Amino acid sequence: MFKPFRTAAVLGAGVMGSQIAAYLASAGLTVHLLDLSAPGDNKNKIVETSFKKALKLNPPILFTDKTVRRIILGNFDQHFHRLAKVDWVIEAVVENLEIKQQLMERLQGVISNDAVISTNTSGLPINEIAKGRSTSFRSRFLGTHFFNPPRYLKLLEIIPTTDTHSQVIERLQWFGRLHLGKGVVVAKDTPNFIANRIGIYVTMLGIRAFTQQGYTIEEIDTLTGTIAGRPKSATFRTADLVGLDTLVYVADNLYPAIAHDESREVFRVPNLLRKLVNIGALGAKTGRGFYKKEEGQILSLNPETLTYEQALPLNLEDLSAIGRIEDLRERLRVLYHHQGRAGAFFRQSTLEMLGYSARRLPEIADTPVEIDRAMRWGFSWELGPFEIWDILGFESVLADMEAAGIQVPAWVEKMQHSGINRFYQKDAEIEKTEGVYLPNQGYIPVATPADEINLAAFKSDLKHTLWQNPEAALLDMGDGVLLYEFRSKANTLSMKVIEGLSEALDILEVKDFRGLVIGNDGQNFSAGANLGEMAMLAQTGRYEVIANLISKFQTLMQRIHYFQKPIVAAIGGRVLGGGCELVMACPQVVAAAESYLGLVELGAGLIPGGGGIMRMAALAAQRAATESPSQIQPFLTSAFETIAMAKVSKSASEAQEMGYLSPTAKIVINGERRLFVAKEEVISLERAGYLPPPERNSIMVLGHPARAVLEHAAYILLQGGFISEYDCYLANRLAYVITGGELSAPTLVDENYLLQLERETFLPLLGEKKTQERIAHLLKTKKPLRN
């Protein structure tokens, strides 16, 4: 068992240094963020200015605003002595080898004998940075390359030197995965390591297709975006976000460092890219790069005039049929074999990317796994290069490479001659990865960590499935724990999902199981109610069906809350509307740190109708020191504003502050562990002799006086132009419910009283024209309408 880091120091408060410090603080560490001493009286001016700028970044770099209290600012002249007491020092100063070496020399005289030292350099040789330092220092020194932004990109490349002690490597792997939630890849000390070496190569291929092959910016971004299992930002939007100056800097440093690389010329900076940097068109940070937003329109670069124009129609044939293929593997196969400009581009760029990735083994990594993980975790690809190769067909890709004149490395040819036709060895029955091919070694095992549940492989073994319908399933997780998994589109709470959950509770009630986990392995736990179903029922006038559905949902939420066996929700990503109400009903929750919860129904022209208002009203009374209305009112106002403004938490920790998660919820920074931790929680609760929460039969609601206060708050927002008239109307309906309806004074009521108010208020809203417009717009654009 390794000792977790509790204190850290980050040297250099630039864009990366400040964000690394923020992420470590969000993970619970006390962090010293130091930079150069400023001239004048305020020696901390440089670090303060840099960190203040980082705090304005969007998306936010901290889990909650309070996290900033764990970050202690300082400067190298006055506060370097603090480093004597830290467990881990991360260097993130300017990319200058001499400056880094001088800093390491100074560090050696201050830090403790067991402190770990790492550099976040992305381009300099790791071994050279620690050159001349003591044997002890070098044994604790290595590279830790975080990806920008470190909170949101999963990859952490660890780059040991020949002197780094194996225990230091293993400790950082363990801490990075368990306590920082990172996907850790051990890379070799080669230029740009793994992800950036492959990623910059792919980016340069895209730019050359624009400058030399007649494809437009939009065509290339279409073919290198979501249709190919990559981020929506694709090639050129990603380049703009990274910064074209940064891209040029990296390529300029990489080109001379890889004289041995047979594809070195790909990294030579194109003239167009250099021109853009010279005129200050650096991407998003200057408002123009390959794209420019002007008067609400997205314009793209004309490479001849360097002006910005409206996009030309895509000349890619009709890709809509391919885009509708949900299975990425099948979509890639169809796109690869597409006959037309789209297929030609995708085929050529994919073959070149696969060939280059194969030729970099074993130079930059030992196995295909490291390259695949680095691209998935660092560039948010859904599949890595070798996974894609297996999907497209080993032999087919080799034949196409030969026809295209793309060099194939000897180790891949040896695979072919040995009769091996895939990089990953699979269990044929359940499609589970058993091993990966290594040059000169054959297949070696690929293990899933014991505290992560590979749900895809688990689900494919049908003996685990106890019950299922088209949109949900009940699975046996082993050890007496069941898992109820949503399988609906966007994991919405459709009628089939709700019916299935009721069925799952029936089974749990009569069978000999410890308890239930409600969760899935999707990017988002749940987008909430199925608005499409609800809109269709409303349009056909079937309001009695909707009323029955709401009543059933409320009853189900109450049944979950008071169930005699432990029920634990395992959540991550977006948890919205009815999904949030479901989580609020669960007595215990395991939440990925990156969980974004919100009662967002007002954005759809509705109010929460599944117990969310009741629970927020109860929480407001509970948080107050006494049941005095004056003490409850501030908490009630806060709850009202949270729901009325459809606020969504920026993290699980913030969801606790907002009242969506209880203080007892377990937050795991590595979201892939949430199902495992939830299962362990069920077992622990059952072994401790689980008792459901005591029934809550008295909630202090504040009646008409408090309602007037809330309605006035909504009126002020309306007068200030912050909300529309219909927003104000909805806010008033919310105020009516959360204060107890027609009650004239503070009164104790039970849960059913508030649930009935929710139902009675929710249903008429569905008949409102403006609500129907909001729902239709939301379904069509996935964006709220403020009518």
Task: Tell me if 618 sits within 8 A of 696, measured CB to CB.
Answer: yes
Continuous H helices in 610-724: 612-623, 629-644, 652-658, 674-687, 703-719
Q: Which among 226, 236, 213, 230 is positioned nearest to 344, based on CA atoms?
A: 213
Supply φ then ψ for residue 33, to 5 degrees: -110, 115
Q: Which among 754, 752, 658, 643 is positioned nearest to 701, based on CA atoms?
A: 754
Determine whether 118 is an active site residue: no
In single-letter form, the type of residue at position 44 comes to: N
Continuous H helices in 296-367: 320-323, 328-336, 341-359
Six-digit token string for 657: 């502050």
DSSP states of 588-615: EEEEEEEEEEE--GGGGT----SSHHHH
Determine whether 157 is an active site residue: yes
In single-letter form, the type of residue at position 31 comes to: V
> How far is it, in rounded angstroms, from Cα 281 to Cα 680?
52
Determine whether 145 is an active site residue: yes
122, 520, 651, 670: which is the annotated catalytic residue? 122
> How far is it, in rounded angstroms, from Cα 718 to Cα 706?
19
Task: Tell me if 600 sits within 8 A of 617, measured CB to CB.
Answer: no
192, 196, 491, 670: which is the annotated catalytic residue? 196
Residue whose token pair is 């069906």: 545
32, 79, 145, 179: which is the annotated catalytic residue? 145
33 three-class SS: strand
> How far is it, in rounded angstroms, from Cα 38 to Cα 756?
62
> How far is it, in rounded angstroms, from Cα 735 to Cα 717?
14
What is the number of alpha carbons within 13 Å of residue 478 lying toward its C-beta? Answer: 9
18, 37, 79, 157: which is the annotated catalytic residue? 157
Q: Which residues of 74-93 are buried (b: 16+ CB within 10 A; e: fewer)?
A: bbbeebbeebeebbbbbbbb
Query: What are the angstrom distances between the C-alpha of 119 and each of 10, 89, 231?
Result: 10, 8, 28
Determine whether 431 is an active site residue: no
Q: Which helix (H) or strand (E) holds 314?
A: none
Task: Name, in order, each residue with C-beta under 8 angstroms of 192's C-beta and a sequence gap of 6 or more.
Answer: 122, 123, 200, 250, 254
Catalytic residue positions, numbered: 122, 145, 157, 196
